Structure 1
Amino acid sequence: MKRFDIIVNLKNSSALYMPCMIKPCKFDEVREQFIDESKPFCRTSWLCFEFKFLPPAFFNHILAWYIKQYSVSVITEKGTRNERKALYRQIGVFNLDSSGCEQLVVCEGPNVIALQVWSSRMLYRTYGDFGENLLRFIDTISDRYRLKITYEKTFKCNDGDFTIYRKRIDDLQTKEYRCLEHRINHGSEDLVNPWGFSALTQNTTSDEDT
């Protein structure tokens, strides 16, 4: 069963998890366990992989892959004050190092898989390697099970709902774009820079080609 990611060991642990049996939880409830909105906290934009069709069990393989690589973040449940791993159906939160200051958030929505990084360090850096590594793993799983899966990269603002109103780089033709969810303008570079892309470079190249 481990071979097919039906059960998976936590990193550096003998504990076993079954991704398909993890209980659900609302994303806002998970976020509240990590982020105090009254204090400074850095969130990247969402990097999304938008699929024409995402097989139901596909995200379980991705969640299992992250469980093997990173330590799962720990939260304290409201009411009981018991500690538990931040693993839920369609949501996983992972510590990027032993400090606990940075978390990688991996989520699934309707035909979309999304990544976001949370950081209490307030340090600017890019996280393009996470997207590239996930792309390679998606291709590996597709080849392993002989699946014909098509997808494209899209982006969503850092405090938005990644399941709606996503943007492609080709959509970002100006320094700002209109966010339909928040009904305000956001900076195009803020959307793509955290993941190692540049909207302005993309647009300049396209203009020169024409």
Structure 2
Amino acid sequence: MTVKHIAATMCLLLGLSVSGSSKKPIDDPGVSTHQQVYQILQNYNKVLQSLAEIFSGIPRIGSAIHCSLNPGSSVTAAASDGPPLKSDSCDCDYHPGGCTISQLPPANLACYCTYKGAWTCGGEIRECPQPDAPKCKTPDKSLATCLQGGGDCGAYPERCDCDYHPGGCSIAATAVPNTACKCIYIGVWTCKGEIVRCKDSNHVKCLNPDSSRESCLQGGGDCDGY
């Protein structure tokens, strides 16, 4: 309903209420001043009630029009008539160390977690760097899904580790499924491990990583200790 339609309806209601509510004109000498005032107040009260009904119906009318014109819309109304919820969003929560995913991205998309300061994290929808990855096609709240977003995933407890051997590093503590362990030589005959995305997200050593050289190569780090 447009503003012009609302204004026209208001005028019509006002005219009908004033003209049809009393049988005698206001300037009729047989009608006392008190009765005239009472009739006027009654008329305006009816007009206000009518306007309240009109305005209370506008959101429902607008929602119905929107749904009929956009049957595939991604915006849905909350059950409590609260603010609309967008299905094309994600969110992240803060925990000691960084962020974790709290609201999942849609299928075939990733969530980029960002630490915003003051113990707060946020999430943004991003394209998956590996569209064929299992955790891109079917995202969840795991570290593997967070790594697809490429943001701050420091609050996840999963870790891996690498040991030094003559020539380089090898995996000592394996990564979790759908991730890889990147071995890094940090000097003084010492290596460390960092969980990262697999080079090939559908490789058997990515889906079920172990301490083998094949798993190490999925992490793309120093694997010269084998």
TM range (shorter): under 0.3
TM-score (normalised: structure 2): 0.25
Taking structure 1 as the reference length, the TM-score comes to: 0.26
